[in-house]
Amino acid sequence: MRSRAPLRISFCGGGTDVPPYPEQFGGCVLSCAIDKYAFVSLRARGDDSIRVHSSDLNRVAVFRGRTASLDGTIDLAQTIFNRFGTHSLDCYMNTDAPPGSGLGSSSAMIVALIAALARREGRHLTDYEMAELAYAVERTDLNIQGGMQDQYAATFGGFNFIEFTRDGVLVNPLRVNEDALNELHCQLLLCYTGETRASTNILREQTANVVSHKPDVMDSLAQLKTLTLELKRALLQHRFAEFGELLDRAWHLKKRLASGISNDGIDELYDIAKRAGATGGKLLGAGGGGFLLFFTPFTRRDKVRERLEFAGGKVVEFQFDPRGVRTWLATADTWVERSEA
């Protein structure tokens, strides 16, 4: 059994999906899935153990039965196996982007593993049930701080306007025609900054700022919600020049949510892109590293790419993915035997 779940680009609204803000004030994000993935492969074993191979972490972990306490090695997989009561299994996991990249890779991996296990055991989960379970694993079971958008983006795929309230999450798929998608795509550049980040401290500070109702932060979050709605309208009405300008405004607001969201290296790359002709952009994820997304008029695209790469950034090609997580059966001859198996 194999599965893959897409990573995502979040255009605007990140931060308004981080509890306790959405329960108190409501939040929303505009995001899309891309053709970078978290992959999972499952194969039955001849004994009662579970062996997890993570190529991203370059680790192999073995455990048996229901694990009472997590060992900190590959606790994400252990937690999901505990919930499903799984045993006698080889599990291989890898992603197209490293953890801490800002593309939602950890949440996508959880979604991919849940989807594979659910199909293997004949357990039907709706898209909402799958995303909710992934959120519970990551945020409740593992107590990893973060927002609510990534699990839904990986599960549903496509372009979505996602709303978060005290009553739950509502995913609104956007009907963007092919011409508009092509036009948007040819004006976006995805640039790896060269470093990943651990977002826990950033999110902890942001949460504390919300709990204490810090005026600058609360004002920024309110404005980000408004900009998310404006970005959605600009996308649906094909007003792409405005789309880039709104991204720029949103990035400056996002930097006010917590210290450490940006740094000198990120600011330098952003300024280089703007001077070369980019209209706007933002850092993806919670902040501190990972990928920058830029909106660049087509005639300036090559110049922006050249300047970013000269400064040490790495522009990565991508396409939009209209589909979310998917699973399929692998034939026996497609497995490559591993010496440790």
Q: Which residues are catalytic?
A: 150
| Chain mean position to CA 60 | 24
- The C-alpha atoms of residue 71 and residue 67 are separated, in whole angstroms, by 9
Radius of gyration of the chain (CA): 20
Q: Are 94 and 74 in contact (CB under 8 A)?
A: no
What are the b/e assignments for 153-188, b being 16+ CB within 10 Å? Answer: bbbbbbbbbbbbeeeebebeeeebeeebbeebeebb
Enumerate long-range contacts of 208-216, CB under 8 Å, 24 or more apart: 209/257, 209/258, 210/18, 210/20, 210/21, 210/24, 211/20, 216/256
Strand partners, 54: 59, 93
Closest CA to 43 of 35, 34, 52: 52
* Alpha-carbon distance values, 103 to 20, 72, 208, 259, 312 (Å): 22, 23, 24, 20, 20
Tell the residue number behind the tokens 């401290």, with chain if given.
201
Crossing angle for the helix pair 149-156 and 105-120, nearest 10 degrees?
A: 50
How many CA atoms are closer than 13 Å to the CA of 213, on its beta-carbon side?
A: 2
- The C-alpha atoms of residue 259 and residue 257 are separated, in whole angstroms, by 7
Q: Which residues contact 150 (CB under 8 A, 6 or more apart)?
A: 8, 104, 106, 107, 108
Pairing of the two strands 49-54 and 89-95:
parallel
Which amino acid would we find at residue 173? Answer: P
